[in-house]
Chains A and B, each alone.
Chain A
Amino acid sequence: MSATATTITRAGGAADSLSHVRRRVAWLLLSPAVAVLALWAFVPLIMTLVYSFQRYNLLYPERRGFVGFRSYAYLLSESSFWTAIVNTIILVVSVLVATIVLGVLFALLLNQNFKGRAVARLMVIAPFFVLPPVAALIWKNLLFDPLYGLIGWLLKLVGLPAVAWFTHFPMIALIVIVAWEWAPFATLILLTALQSLDPEQLEAARMDGAKSVNRVIYIVLPHLARPIAITIMMESIFLLSIFAEILTTTAGGPGEATTTLTYLIYIRALLDFDIGSASAAGVLAIILANIVAFFLMRAVARNLES
């Protein structure tokens, strides 16, 4: 293609201008997408940065002014901020581990050839299509409620006391909800990957007398390494921004037990109207996301090479 292009260019000015026109058309077609994404990526980012250096509360707009790094210094000295960071990490990492483990397990189970597997697959994947606030409320009310919830009743059946999940184990309850929503996503991707695994390879291993556990460890898991890395990356982006589940179940509490960085910024910005502090936290959230993205990208790249 490029060889032909060079010959044509050498052949004369007319063809030269033709390829020139082609390039311009290519740019023209690309430009709307680039323009709107550039606006979306840079304008709010710069505004967040600018606000983060200001004292700016929407309730007292007249007291607005430049304060340098004061919002950052204040934020970094607050225990609320560090609690939020720790909570974010606990939530994201726990959900990642849970969804990957469950995802591999579910994918292996659903990849079997059994009666009605299409229906079973749909049932496993369904939670992914449930609105986040609905998912949160099903669990909070119908299942986790200590008085009327189903889990409390089941515990009583086996002689255990009911547990007020959102009072005593709020983070665990939240992790269960979010993992329930995202395990289907991991399952979906890993199942697709499994289906591309060469069945002959497994068959050969079986003929050689490899136990099913060993077949999974030595053939299936290595085959899944790359899709798992991709799943982790895609999930992390969404998990860092978990919001509706927290809002509708714990509102960040009790105390600050389930206040993540996302939720902290929401409180600062739209409940306290403290734009300066919320923006500083926003900048730190962006930096955190970029660190995660950097390491994940590197892990994925290493995976692609090997």
Chain B
Amino acid sequence: MREQRASLPGSIIAWVVAFLMFFPILWMLITSFKTEAQAIANPPLIIFRPVLESFAAALSQSGYILFAENSIIISLVSTALAIAIAFPAAYSMAFQPGKRTQDMLVWMLSTKMLPPVGVLVPIYIICRDTGLLDTRTALVIVDMLMNLPIVVWMLFSFFRDIPKDILEAAHMDGAGPRRQMIYLLLPLASPGIASAALLAIILSWNEAFWSINLTASHAGTLAAYIARYSAPEGLFWAKLSAASVLAVAPILIFGSLAQRRLVRGLTAGAVK
């Protein structure tokens, strides 16, 4: 049966909503191509000659490059670590389930219920005493731990859908757990792994609480960069918008491309 076409008012309302939701981002993008004077012009300028000077200023003055580098390294490394630890755990729970597997999974997820602010003090003090304050290592570890339960859960949901017979057959042929994981599961579950990795990268990129509280000028991510940049440069809207566009663009593009996969991952097992 073909899906019925939407009515004209229905599609117009949908487009209006889409435009309104997207508008703040669009307006930031437009402002980033203005001069400072144009950015605060009243009435607001819609038509103007776009300039790149705000981008040049944001790039040259504020150490954007360092913070972008931190964001990339921290999100990629923490995600890789989370997958490396979650993969064997999810394999074990999906294919060798014991009596306590269900409880174990629920317990892992329940660690997400712990509000970060509840453990801000000890984490801050541990980092201070071990010299990890304002280092990438600290954020890699914290982000990895924050995302690990979600990654385990997602991988487990994907593994559960893989027919057990395949692994049984491999086992009969004498393949041990390591070979099963590398030669069978890795290729079979790669879409699942990609979804989990994607979500972990996005969450880690947009993580602001720990980044702002555990870093100063060396290891801050783009979230901390914008939060700090806003204080002295808050009045320079064009420059701030350019810096914001630079901070948001990578993950916005990445997230849009991966949107479908993301939904499948987020809702694995939950919404069907």
Q: Which A residues contact B (CB, under 8 angstroms)?
A: 1, 22-23, 25-27, 29-30, 32-34, 36-37, 40-41, 43-45, 47-48, 51, 105-106, 109-110, 112-117, 119-135, 137-139, 141-143, 147-148, 150, 153, 180, 183-184, 188-189, 191-193, 196, 199-200, 203, 226-227, 230, 237, 240-241, 243-244, 247-248, 261-262, 265-266, 269-270, 275, 278-279, 282-283, 285-286, 289-290, 293
Contacts and interface: CB of A to CB of B under 8 A. Distances in A.
Contact of B85 (A33, A226, A286): A33
A30 B107 CA distance: 13
B263 interface: yes
Contacts of A114: 5-6, 10-11, 14-15
A266 B22 CA distance: 32
15 contacts: A26-B92, A40-B111, A44-B122, A121-B18, A123-B22, A129-B255, A130-B252, A133-B230, A134-B28, A141-B234, A142-B31, A148-B39, A192-B267, A193-B267, A293-B110
A264 to B, nearest CB: 9
B120 A47 contact: no
Contact of B223 (A133, A188, A203, A290): A133
Contacts of B72: none
A244 B114 CA distance: 18
A230 B270 contact: yes
Interface residues of B, number: 92
Contacts of B173: none
Interface stretch (B56-64, B187-195, B207-215): B207-215
Contacts of A247: 212, 227
B184 interface: no
Contact of B117 (A153, A196, A243): A243
Given A123-B19, A124-B22, A244-B223, A48 B43 contact: no
* Interface class of chain B by DSSP: helix
Top 5 nearest A-B pairs (CB, nearest first) are A114-B11, A47-B122, A112-B6, A244-B208, A33-B89
Nearest to A117: B14
B174 interface: no
Given A27-B92, A37-B149, A137-B230, 18 more contacts: A23-B98, A30-B89, A36-B148, A44-B122, A124-B22, A126-B255, A131-B205, A131-B251, A150-B27, A150-B44, A261-B117, A265-B117, A265-B118, A269-B124, A275-B121, A279-B121, A282-B120, A289-B115
Interface centre among B93, B113, B223, B252 (most CB of A within 10 A): B113
Given A34-B89, A117-B14, A286-B115, A196 B256 contact: no
A152 B14 CA distance: 26
Interface string B112-144: 111111111111111000000000000000000
Contact of B126 (A44, A143, A227): A44
Contacts, number: 285
A131 B92 CA distance: 35
A126 to B, nearest CB: 6
Interface in B209-241: 209, 212-213, 222-223, 226-227, 230, 234, 237, 240-241
Interface string B234-272: 100100110010011001100110010011101100111
A26 B21 contact: no
A237 B112 contact: yes
B11 A115 contact: yes
A189 B266 contact: yes
B248 A265 contact: no
Interface of B: 1, 3-6, 10-11, 13-15, 17-19, 21-22, 24-25, 27-28, 31, 39-44, 85-86, 88-89, 91-93, 96, 98, 104, 108, 110-126, 145, 148-149, 152, 164, 177, 202, 205-206, 208-209, 212-213, 222-223, 226-227, 230, 234, 237, 240-241, 244, 247-248, 251-252, 255-256, 259, 262-264, 266-267, 270-272
Contacts of B104: 30, 34
Nearest to A33: B89
Contacts of A132: 206, 208, 223
Contact of A45 (B119, B164, B247): B119
A131 B223 contact: yes
Nearest to B270: A230
B14 to A, nearest CB: 4
A109 B271 contact: no
B65 to A, nearest CB: 17
Nearest to B171: A22
Given A29-B91, A112-B11, A282-B117, A137 B266 contact: no
A190 B227 CA distance: 32
Contacts of A32: 85, 88-89
Given A112-B11, A282-B118, A44 B123 contact: yes
A33 to B, nearest CB: 4
B24 A265 contact: no
Contacts of B164: 1
Contact of B227 (A124, A244, A285, A290): A244
Contacts of A34: 89, 104, 108
